[in-house]
Amino acid sequence: MKITGECFCGEVKYQIDGRLCDARSCHCSRCRKAFSAQASAYALVDPSKFKWLSGKDILTSYIGSHGFGLQFCSQCGSTLCGILNGVVHGVTLGCVNGDPEIEIGKHIYVGSKAQWEIIPEGVPQFNEGAPEN
């Protein structure tokens, strides 16, 4: 399976030669700020299957204190992926083109969700991060 994605302005594009896994929605206050939304929608990717097609030179990175960070387009601001120690860890589902054939499987950090948000029923919820599989 080939999955493609791009930023809002279309200058940064990527391709994944494989499937996404472990899709989740994070409701922590940091993700709300980073994604300018009630939560993030994010799925893990095998780094060896990910490649930038264009625009890698206009990516901007924000790296947090634990080595995890985000990369986003410096022109339009779209958050495209998460990185861990400089390697792409996963992608934001909002920038994926078409149907990546994955669904959100869990909601994490719901203990700090925005008071105005209502989380849909039927998907596992964790007050903090989910236990590792």
- Beta-carbon contacts of residue 90 (< 8 Å; ≥ 6 apart): 20, 42, 43, 44, 45, 81, 82
Tell me what the mean pLDDT of segment 73-82 comes to. 96
* Paired sense of beta strands 21-26 and 13-17, if any: unpaired
Task: Give the pLDDT band of residue 31 (cuts 50, 70, 90).
Answer: confident
pLDDT tens profile 37-46: 888 899 999 9
What was the pLDDT predicted at 122? 85
Give the CATH number of domain 2-20+40-103; options: 1.20.1260.10, 3.40.50.970, 2.170.150.70, 3.30.505.10.
2.170.150.70
